[in-house]
Structure 1
Amino acid sequence: MAKHSIETPTSTDQLKQDLRHLSETVEELVNATAKDASGEMRDLRERAEKRLKETRSRVESRGEHIYDNARQNINHQADACDRYVHDHPWTSIGIGAAAGMIIGMLLGRR
C-alpha cells in the first residue's frame, strides 16, 4: 500500500503564500534590472523569467492533479458507501438511528 503525505491546510496555504512571494520577488528583480542592457544581466533576466514560468506551470499542473485525485477519491468513497447501504439496509438504518440518538442526547443536554 502506498503511503500518502497529508498536508494540512496551514502548510498548503503557507506553501502557496511562499511561492507567491517568491514569484513577486523574481518579477520585481526582473523589472528592476530591465534597464541594465549588459549581456550578462539580460541572460540572467531571461533565465529567471523562463524558470518562473516553468515553475508556475508545474505548480498549476500539480494543483490540478491533486484536485482531480481528490475528486476521484471522494466519488469512489461515495460509491462504496452507496453500495454498502444497498447491500446492508438494516445495518445502515441501525447506524443512522444510533447516530441520531447520540446527537439528540447531546443536543438535549443544552
Structure 2
Amino acid sequence: MSLFNRDERKARTERIRDDIHDIGEQGEALGRDLRDDAEDAIESARLKSEEQYARMAAEARRRNRQARSSASRSMTECDRYVREKSWSAIGAATLAGAVVGLLLGRR
C-alpha cells in the first residue's frame, strides 16, 4: 500500500465527510424554510377563517333581525285581523280545535 493511495483515500474520505456535512446543512436550511412557509400558510388560513367567521356572524345577525321583524309584522297583522274580525277568528279557532279533537280522538 503506497502513501499515494493513503492520501487519496484520506482526501476522498474528507470530501465525502464535507459532502455529508453540506447535505446536513442543506437539510436544516430546507427544514427552516418549510417551517417558515408552513407558519405563513397557517397564519394566512387563520386570517381567512377569522374573516369568514366575521362575515358569517354579520350575515346571521342580519337574518335574525329580518326574522324578528317579519315575525313582529306577522303578529301585528294577525292581532289586527283578530280585532277587526273577532267572530271569524273565533269560528276559525273553533273549527281548528274540532279538527284536532277529531284527529286525536281517532287514536
| Cα shift at 1:72 | 1.2
Aligned positions of 1:13-52 closer than 5 A:
39-52=36-49
Q: Distance in 2 between matches of 1:50 and 1:100?
A: 55
| Cα shift at 1:63 | 1.2
Please provide the CA RMSD for this pair: 2.1
Contact in 2 for aligned 1:85/1:92 (Cα 8 Å): yes
SS in 1 for 2:80: helix
| Cα shift at 1:67 | 1.4
1:83 is aligned, of 55, 80, 85, to 80
- 1:61 maps to 58
- 1:70 maps to 67
| Cα shift at 1:39 | 4.9
Letter of the 2:54 partner, please give it.
S
C-alpha deviations, 1:35-82, integer Å up to 9, x for none?
Answer: 867554443333222111101111111111111211111111111100
- 1:107 maps to 104
TM-score, length-scaled by structure 2: 0.60
TM-score, length-scaled by structure 1: 0.59
Gaps of 5+ in 2: 1-31
Q: Which has the larger radius of gyration?
A: 2
Contact in 2 for aligned 1:36/1:42 (Cα 8 Å): no
Q: Distance in 1 between matches of 2:90 and 2:48?
A: 56
Q: Which has the higher helix share?
A: 2
Aligned length: 76
- Which of structures 1 and 2 has the larger relative contact order (alpha carbons within 8 angstroms, sep 6+)? 1
- 1:6 maps to none
Q: Distance in 2 between matches of 1:83 and 1:107?
A: 31
| Alpha-carbon spacing, 1:52–1:36, altered in 2? closer, same or farther (3 Å) | farther
Letter of the 2:98 partner, please give it.
M
